[in-house]
Chain A
Amino acid sequence: MARLNVKPTRMELSNLKDRLAISTRGHKLLKDKQDELMRQFITLIRKNNALRDEVEKELTEAMQAFVVAKSLLNESFIEELFAVPDKSVTLNIQEKNIMSVIVPEMNFTVDEDDKDSEMQYGLLNSNSELDDSIARINTILPKLLKLSEIEKTCQLMADEIEKTRRRVNALEYLKIPQLEETIHYIQMKLEENERANITRIMKVKDMGQ
């Protein structure tokens, strides 16, 4: 392990000892942060997996139903039905702090208040299978939006965990051993100097007798 390139003085020793104390404390804090992040991340990723499986399964079924329903109608008819959306969704993103990771908290508001008609789309060029598949997709939508929020949070947390792990490793395997070694080296050097000094004084004393 490389030693730091410093002069072996008492002043440096004192500085390095301070730095080591701060590094050890920092390492402990970062390690705690990493553990907590991991704990939250694991809970979140489990939730994410379960939700993703559920959404994927439902979405595949709904899309398959939609494909069959739409195959009985002209493509232009279908596109016309949904050319003008009957409702709009507003997304309000707020920030949430999980262990200093800023994650989004999404609130979706479906604006239906301004709509007083029950007509979603014309019934002439549509069929009952289309009604079913649209209703199914409508029920999946909130889950899909929730999933997007959780996935983004997981992504951001994974980035932060990666960053923290690198910091913890740098402190644990590089910074702290370097400091310890340098401190040890300065202490040895100082002791050596001390011994050299004593020997010199003893020699000087012998020469006087």
Chain B
Amino acid sequence: MKDTQYKGVNTLLRVYETKLLTREDYEKMLRAESLQEALEVLKSTDYHFDDQEILLNKDFDSFLLYRLRMIYEELYEVTPNSEVVQIFSLRYSYHNAKVLLKQRFTDLSLEHLLIPIGKYPVTTIKNLVNTQQSAELNPIMIEAVNEAIADFETYGRVEAADVFMDTYYYKHMRAITDRLKNETITRVADVLIDLDNLSTVVRSINQNKSRSFLHTVLSSSGSIPKQAIINLADQGAVSILNELYLEKPYADKLQAVLSDSKDTINPMLLDKVIDEIVHELMEEGKYQPFGPMPVMAFMFAIEKEITNIRLILVGKDNQINEDTLRERMRPIYGS
């Protein structure tokens, strides 16, 4: 696929990005005294909701998800290669598969947890989970679902859904980025998977999980070999960071996650720094006139915008102080 095919969508995105929340909007929301005040600021932007109803039921996800769904649907229509959009929407597809698998394993009714975002409708994934085959879905996803079902049928472990869906999500993402053959996107995937692996290993070490647990949860689709991470896990998360991530271009940013004594990693800060590193990569590709990077950057921006809005609204609703919210704010597009 030629990069020039993206010129239409990239022009369209220049229009869309004007509708994203600006730093001033966030500032106003953060300084708001109450949830109502924050909602009023949000109402003047491109988010549509009935503030009285939201004040009553506090269902922020309803309108946030609606907006996200609309944007994904539009991007699927206008992007020449839908796989670019899929890099981000895969998270929802695999979430849906996970929900449906758990429903199949436990006979609980979990349909209300499905998120209608993704290349294929939820019914297609439902068919796959029910029949274990699909003519439309990607073979990687079919394999993932079949593996999870086979594991559950052999060992009766419900968490097979979590294990297989999480691992195959990265595998699927890697397969897409390999097919796209775009250098920046490949770099983004490397960074995403490597840093998610780092975050996973830090969280696992903090929870005293075993080596075999790491084998199960770490992805082997990153640029840093999974085995190398596991081998160093005994020496602590800082060793992994120093031995395996020091060569990476984003190494200096990662230094910020080390504690003052340099012997532990702050996992909360790590999650934030990961977003910042990816944000920087996205910023690089944002103004490319051709190619899929601006679409990627826009999707990342909208995902983070939704996260930031949810953070502020939930924070205001629960009287969380401004500094705590500021600390957790994710990067803002164009800044």
Contacts and interface: CB of A to CB of B under 8 A. Distances in A.
A110 interface: no
A75 B206 CA distance: 25
B95 A118 contact: no
A141 interface: no
B268 A128 contact: yes
Interface in A71-123: 71-72, 74-77, 79-80, 83-84, 86, 116-119, 121-123
B270 interface: yes
Given A76-B61, A118-B210, A128-B268, A83 B113 contact: yes
A69 to B, nearest CB: 9
A124 interface: yes
A74 B64 CA distance: 10
A86 B200 CA distance: 19
Contacts of B175: none
B162 A122 contact: yes
Interface residues of A, number: 30
Contacts of B166: 122-124
B115 A76 contact: yes
B86 interface: no
A123 B250 CA distance: 23
Contact of B207 (A68, A84, A135): A135
Interface in B185-218: 196, 199-200, 202-204, 206-207, 209-210, 213, 216-217
Contacts of A49: none
Interface of B: 61, 65, 91, 94-95, 98-99, 102, 105-106, 108, 110, 113-115, 157-159, 162-163, 165-166, 169, 196, 199-200, 202-204, 206-207, 209-210, 213, 216-217, 267-268, 270-271, 307, 310-311, 313-315, 318, 320, 324, 328, 330
10 contacts: A68-B324, A71-B310, A71-B328, A83-B102, A83-B108, A117-B159, A119-B159, A119-B162, A122-B163, A131-B267
User: Ordered nearest first, which 6 A-B pairs have the shortest CB separation?
Assistant: A128-B267, A122-B162, A71-B314, A124-B166, A119-B159, A75-B61
